[in-house]
Amino acid sequence: MGRRFNTAGPCLPAEHYMIPALSRLPEVPGLVDLKAYFVVHAPRQTGKTTALRALASDLTAQGRYAALHFSCEAARAAGDDFGAATLGILQRIKEAARWQLPPDLRPSAWPMAPAAALLGTALREWAEVCPRPLVLFFDEIDALRGQSLISILSQLRDGYNSRPAPFPVSVVLCGLRDVRDYKAAAGGDASRLGTSSPFNIKLKSLRLGDFTPGEVADLYGQHTTDTGQQFAPGAVDHAYELTSGQPWLVNALAQEVVEEIGVPASEPITVEHLDQAKERLILTRATHLDSLTARLAEPRVRRIIAPLIAGDPLALDPYDDDLSYVRDLGLIAPNPPVRAANPIYREVIVRVLSASIQESVTADPRTFVRPDGGFDLPKALSEFADWWVENGDFLTSRGYYNEAAAQLILMGYLQRAVNGTGVVEREYAVGSGRIDLHLRWPYTTPDGIPRVQREGIEIKAWRTGRSNPLSSGLRQVDRYLDRLRLPTGTLVIFDQRRGAPSIDERTTLTTTASPAGRTITLLTG
């Protein structure tokens, strides 16, 4: 069987298409030569284990180091029992050394020592007898919690400070988060470790980045080389546009096209195939997407994502780590401005948060299909207005993502209304003051002509202490419709001021003119 796109576990060169590890973390060999202790972090499913395992193998193969990659995952269940956690890690070291290192570089039996000093003592004795300098990659270090994490980091720091006495020359801590967040995992009190950082000996923190456009082209090119299947013009660029290079998504899109949709190798993979694969991934909520969106319920995450969806400014204290934490999780882009990490995550976040709304919508989606097969947006907006009067106050009072509740409710209603036939694409960003929706509805007219109906919708909120957003909204919707090249559009304004008129008084559906002279459907609620 040939190689394939991998979405489950580390990549194996003989079985999977993969990008060389050194191109993804080129700084590592130099830091090891500096005898540095450092951190590598990245969101889940970005290829950390694949890259680190390959780097350890390369360092050992070059003959200068005994480099070992192992996982701390087995110690997760130990909790605060640092003795059990240490034994679990030492067992994983011994098992990993058995297949990664030649016999003369492997550790012998571990020494007897008190639990609080066992790891340091064991590594010290191994370094003393090993014919090469030791380099250790502690993968999944953030599986450790509480006293176990404190104990392991303290012993590593003590061993580092004792050099040139025998000890590993370089230690790499690898996990989901940067080291600054370890103090929270250790119990939230940095003073318990005697420092603001529990790993203050680290020289550098490296973030394993997403694939570049060139690496996406390289990965997909491997598939073409192996199978002969081409990517149509624009398809590889579109894959990068949809994923922003997120490694799991890059592989998952192609895997969905090749293995699930089953496009034959004799046919090229097109932009349309990738769009179909994107929708299938979103609808099926693959394991990676589910594990990612499960984080949305965390208060730290909600503090960032709620204003992001609502388009509100982000108000954080100067030393607030929540923004960095959500970046480390991979939900938002690694660089400013604050925005979803990629278009697929942007869509998944909103669909997950509005899913319960879709379940409560009783309107039959078939009633929004016009006789000619098009989507009856005026009817959908009219029925939403009635439904909003009945349910809006109750749904927005539940307190879950309350800053964006009204916007999520409308998006959930529209998602239910298009019911898989149409697509609602969303654009939102911190400080934008709005959410832009692009509704696309493919259909075939009664005389057999295929068409795609497109609608532009802008959602704004009127907050306490701010002026009526109608004027700015009309200017913004003009710019949005210019970009979409549409002659008309819809502006929705939710009045969320304290003391606003009652929901039945403020909910209206009318038309107005934009500054550019367009006829704009105006829904207020």
- What's the rounded Cα separation, in Å, for the pair 224 and 235? 13
In sign, the C-alpha dihedral spanning 209, 214, 217, 222 is negative
The arrangement of strands across the sheet holding 489-495 comes to 423-428, 435-444, 450-462, 489-495, 519-524, 508-513
- Residue ranges covered by each domain of the chain: 21-207, 213-284, 291-524
In what helix (H) or strand (E) does residue 70 lie, and over which residues does it extend? strand 66-71
Residue 179: pLDDT band (50, 70, 90) is: low
Residue 507 has pLDDT above 80, yes or no: yes
Residues 183, 190: contact at Cβ < 8 Å? yes
Give the 3-state DSSP-derived string for 196-265, with helices as H, strands as E and coil as C: CCCCCCCCCEEECCCCCHHHHHHHHHHHHHHHCCCECCCHHHHHHHHHCCCHHHHHHHHHHHHHHHCCCC
**Burial group, residue 276, by CB count within 10 angstroms (0-12, 13-18, 19+):** middle
CATH number of the domain at 213-284, please?
1.10.8
| Prediction pTM value | 0.87
pLDDT at residue 148, as a whole number: 87
In this structure, the number of other CB atoms found within 10 A of the CB of residue 508 comes to 11
pLDDT at residue 32, as a whole number: 97
How do residues 132-161 score in pLDDT, each as one tens digit? 999 999 999 988 888 888 889 999 999 999
Q: Classify strands 170-175 and 205-207 as parallel, antiparallel or unpaired.
A: unpaired
Residues 135, 32: contact at Cβ < 8 Å? yes
Range scoring the smallest mean pLDDT among 75-79, 99-103, 391-395, 408-412? 75-79
Instruction: Determine whether domain 21-207 maps to CATH 3.30.70.20.
Output: no
- What's the rounded Cα separation, in Å, for the pair 326 and 247? 18
Q: Side chain identity at 115, as an amino acid letter? A: A
**Burial group, residue 106, by CB count within 10 angstroms (0-12, 13-18, 19+):** middle
How do residues 167-176 score in pLDDT, each as one tens digit? 999 999 998 8
Structure-token pair, residue 93: 């070291």
- What's the rounded Cα separation, in Å, for the pair 120 and 308? 45
How do residues 268-319 score in pLDDT, each as one tens digit? 999 999 999 999 998 887 677 888 788 898 999 999 999 999 888 887 776 6
